[in-house]
Each structure stands twice: as C-alpha cells, then as structure tokens.
Amino acid sequence: MPGIFNHQFATDLYKGAVAVNTGLFINGQFVDPVDSETIDVFNPADGSVITKVSAASAKDVDIAVKAAKAAFKTSWGLKVPGSERGKLLNKLADLLEKNADTFGAIEALDAGKSFVHAKHLDVTDAVGNLRYYAGWADKNHGKTIETTEAKFAYTRHEPIGVVGMIVPWNFPLMIAVWKIAPALATGNTIVLKPSEVTPLSALKLAELVKEVGFPDGVFNVVTGHGAVAGQAITDHPLVGKVSFTGSTIVGRKVMETAAKTNLKRVTLELGGKSPTLIFDDANLEQTVKWVCGTIFHHSGQMCAAGSRIFVQEGIYDKFLQLFAGAAASIKQGDGFKATTHQGPVVSKTQLDRVLGYIESGKQEGARVVAGGSRGEGSGYFVKPTIFADVKPDMKIVREEIFGPVGVVIKFKTEEEAIEAANDTDYGLASFVFTENLSRAIRVSNAVEAGNCFVNQAALLCPQVPFGGYKQSGHGKEMGEYALENYTQVKAVHINLGLKL
C-alpha cells in the first residue's frame, strides 16, 4: 500500500514507545494475579521475549466473572439504555481509530503481522465493527404479537448476562472485537481471554475501554493459558454464554464442558480446509493475485484459508506456473519493514507443526512446486509452499495446516469440482473464480460452506455474517445475525380481560 506506511514511526513503536500494562484487567483496574504467575510473550520475527504477562488462575477468573455479574446487575444490562451503550461504543471506535498506529504496531510485533496489514486491515475492521454495532444498540427490539382482544403479547430481546470470550492468536484484536461489539451493544458484560501467545492488543484495548468510561466490571481481560483460564471460564456457573474461536478439537471440549455445567450457550467458529475452485474462464492474472491472498496472507494462519485449490484442466499448467512464480516473489521478513509482504508464523510450536505437514506431503509423494522449507533468519518463517500431484487421502489435503501451504488439484467438470470441494469435515469458507455469473451462483449454492467469495479473497464486512457449516462450528460473527448470539427472547402475556 504505497504512501501510507510511516516506517520511522513504526520503528519507534517497535523499539518500545508503546507501553502496555501486563496485569489482569478486572473491575476497571489492572491487578496482579492471585498466584503471581507470568507467561513469556515472544516476537515471532526473531524468537526474542517481548515481555511477560500475568497468568490467570481459576481464582482470578472467578473474581473477574463475579465483577462482571455485579456490573451487569447494577450498572449495565437493561439499566443502561441502548442509546447510551451505542454512544460508548462509538467513542471506543473513535479512540481505537486515533490509536491505529499503536495497535498496528502491537499486532505486528506480537503476532508477526505486516504493520501495514495490521493497521489498515485488522484495526480498520475492528473500528468498523464497533461503529456498526453502536448503531444496533438501540434497535435490537422485540415485537408485539396479535393473539386475541383479551390478551396483549410482546417479546423482549434481553441480554444473557456474563459472556465469556476465548479468542485465538491469529487475529487477536479483530476477532476479539467481533465478539465484544455485539455483546456490549446488547447489554452483556464480558470476561475476555486472549490467547497467551498474542495477549497484548486485548490489554491495550482495556485501557481504551477505561478511558472511554464504560462502567467498572463491564469489560474484563484475563490473560492466561487456555487449559487453565479458558477452562475456568467455560466451567464457571455464572457465565451464561461462551463465544469461542479456535481449533475444532478445543471447540468440542468447550461445548462438552458447557453441557456438563450450567448448559451455557455456546457459539463456535472453528477450523477450516476451504476449497478454491478456479474455472477455465477465470481472469487468470487477477485470480493468481487473489489466490495468493487466500492462502499466503498472514502466513496462511487463517481458518478461512483457501488451502485446497481446484483448477480446471484447461488452465491448470498455466495457473500452476503463474502461482509458483507469485509465491516465489513474496518477500518475507520483519513486519516493520516496508518491503515485507509476509511475516513469520506465530510461534516455534506453529513452525514445527507447519514444517511437519510439509515433510508429510513430501513423504506421501506430493510434488513441491514452490517453497517447501523453512524461511531465512532466526524467526519462525516458512516459505510460501505449493504442492501439486496430490491425492485426496493425503494429510496435507485432509487436515488444516494453518500455515502458508496450498495444494493444487486438477479437475475436469463442474460437478467433479463441487463433489471434491465438499469432501471434507469442514465448511467455513469457499472461493469461486469464474467470469460466468450463472456458474458462480450455481457453484456457490452447491458448496457446503458458510461463506463463499466469488472472484476475491476473504474480504469481510461488518454488515455480513461470518461462520461455518459442519465441523467449522455454529453461530455467526458480524451482521445482524450475531445479535442472536448475545440475546435471549422473553415472551410476555398480559391478560386484558379474560376471567375465570
């Protein structure tokens, strides 16, 4: 994005110009954890330790949940009109926008993102979602329902109460705000657990929430390990709803725990192995650029990554040639450098996982067309990797890799492509490239996925819902549909004259 990258300012932020309080944020204050334990936070670009953050225990989560419950009863929920909640959300959006450089730098440093992408995609998306739900805060109302002249019946959309939010490491700020904005707009209070790998933007956001003037206890942040703090949130009897984004394996555990405790409501946005279907009539030059975005953006660490790339036989060889060339031209490096297109994967654990999948592909006989190895430098870099000559039962075709690794598969007919695309346990996203409008609609309707992007990458809008089919979860983020996640409907029947 030429002309919008202020390298010197970004470098200054990188060198420590941004201060982040690393305590737990509970009841409007940053506090130390009960057990005084900490977690190291690493810079994935070079493997160095950025800082330490507090590690919440179940005792800390209990304190946070009780603070959120008290705030819901006394200073939030239905006691604050939706119009006032909307004003606060708009103020938070303005303040976040004002601090876009700060949050872009935090995400670049903490998550290994490009500063440009973090600021102009992630932060902009978060600001847009806050403003969108600020507008909904006083409009999510019930209905009057005609029955008989002897009864007046109506419904109310009421907040659930305390909502636990467990957020992944790949888009720490953006996905957190997808959940925070509708939850606050509808009057709920929040206990947010960011990933222990990328916790810094959530803590910085807590500072803005305090500055804006949300009542104490409405928004709480508990940093900690998923098996401890995340489990404690899911276990807690005062939490009425959990919104989780992460792996399918952990999503099952969240749902199981919720069922075993207080039957708290759960929404899940889980993994994916999204198909990309490219037909002979696609604009090849544009398609290659978009496909690079679907699989190589943020080093492929996206649940919606278009990692299974089906190409019709008439353009297969040409596409593979152009795609390999584009992958080889991607510049990797520190996200604060203006020349960087792709940063590292987020951690040593993720690096080993992705390299393990690449080795599996080689051993099972897939052909490496581009990449296929670790990148240069001391950080957790993986070269953009493309496999061809794959078979449907290979691990790299069946399992979510969560790295910059795509597999390219040739097909003949539209029917064949659709059948292969749907041959997966997942159903989060899909991508269709064709200049034929009828085909675009036909194929997007036939693919078993919660989202279909035609002639583009996964460019999202606050107004449009996002969520999956099958083992990619249930419930929607964003759009009007997300309001259902954070409200419960009460029916009221008033007797206007019926006598016994």
With a cut of 50, say whether residue 388 has pLDDT above it: yes
With a cut of 50, say whether residue 54 has pLDDT above it: yes
The lowest-confidence range among 187-191, 293-297, 332-336, 389-393 is 332-336
The DSSP secondary-structure symbol of 203 reads: H
Band of residue 190 on the pLDDT scale cut at 50, 70, 90: very high
With a cut of 70, say whether residue 44 has pLDDT above it: yes
pLDDT tens by residue, 228-273:
999 999 999 999 999 999 999 999 999 999 999 999 999 999 999 9
Q: Which residue is it, tokens 């299974």? A: 308
pLDDT (0 to 100) of residue 366: 98
Q: Select the more confidently predicted residue: 277 or 17.
A: 277
Question: Domain spans of the chain?
Answer: 7-270+473-490, 275-462
pLDDT tens by residue, 342-382:
999 999 999 999 999 999 999 999 999 999 999 988 899 99
Calculate mean pLDDT across residues 116-128.
95
Strand duo 385-388 + 367-370: pairing: antiparallel
434 backbone φψ class: left, alpha, beta (φ>0; ψ -120 to 50)? beta
With a cut of 50, say whether residue 11 has pLDDT above it: no
pLDDT tens by residue, 130-140:
999 999 999 99
245 backbone φψ class: left, alpha, beta (φ>0; ψ -120 to 50)? beta
pLDDT (0 to 100) of residue 18: 81
Calculate mean pLDDT across residues 457-484.
96
Query: Considering the chain, what percentage of its residues have pLDDT values greater than 90?
Result: 93
Alpha carbon separation from 429 to 304, 439, 470 (Å, rounded): 5, 18, 11
pLDDT (0 to 100) of residue 339: 82
What is the b/e burial string over 211-238, where b = at least 16 CB atoms within 10 angstroms of the residue's CB? Answer: ebebbbbbbbbbbbbbebbbbbbbbbeb
* Residue 100 C-beta-side C-alpha neighbours within 13 Å: 20
Residue 489 host element (H or E)? strand 487-495
For residues 244 and 251, the answer to whether their CB atoms sit within 8 Å is yes
pLDDT (0 to 100) of residue 20: 92
Residue of 269, 285, 376, 477 with catalytic role? 269
With a cut of 50, say whether residue 6 has pLDDT above it: no
State the CATH architecture for 275-462.
3-Layer(aba) Sandwich (3.40)
For residues 105 and 115, the answer to whether their CB atoms sit within 8 Å is yes
Alpha carbon separation from 496 to 34, 151, 153, 435 (Å, rounded): 55, 5, 10, 61
377 burial via Cβ count (<10 Å: 0-12, 13-18, 19+):
middle
198 closest CA partner among 232, 228, 175: 175
Beta-sheet strands, E only, within 124-254? 144-145, 151-159, 162-166, 189-193, 219-221, 239-245
pLDDT (0 to 100) of residue 336: 87
Greatest distance between any 2 Cα atoms in the chain: 83
With a cut of 70, say whether residue 9 has pLDDT above it: no
Cβ count near 492 (within 10 Å) = 12
pLDDT tens by residue, 19-40:
899 999 999 999 999 999 999 9
Q: Which two tokens stand for residue 375?
A: 């990148």
Alpha carbon separation from 318 to 311, 312, 399, 421 (Å, rounded): 10, 11, 27, 21
With a cut of 70, say whether residue 128 has pLDDT above it: yes
With a cut of 80, say whether residue 5 has pLDDT above it: no
pLDDT (0 to 100) of residue 12: 52
CA 453 to chain CA mean position, Å: 17
250-103-96-177 Cα dihedral, nearest 10 degrees = -10
361 closest CA partner among 334, 385, 337: 385
CA 345 to chain CA mean position, Å: 16
For 347, list phi and psi in degrees, rounded to 5: -160, 165
pLDDT tens by residue, 337-348:
888 889 999 999
**Is 207 marked active-site?**
no
Residue 367 host element (H or E)? strand 367-370
Class of domain 7-270+473-490: alpha beta
Alpha carbon separation from 212 to 87, 191, 200 (Å, rounded): 10, 18, 19
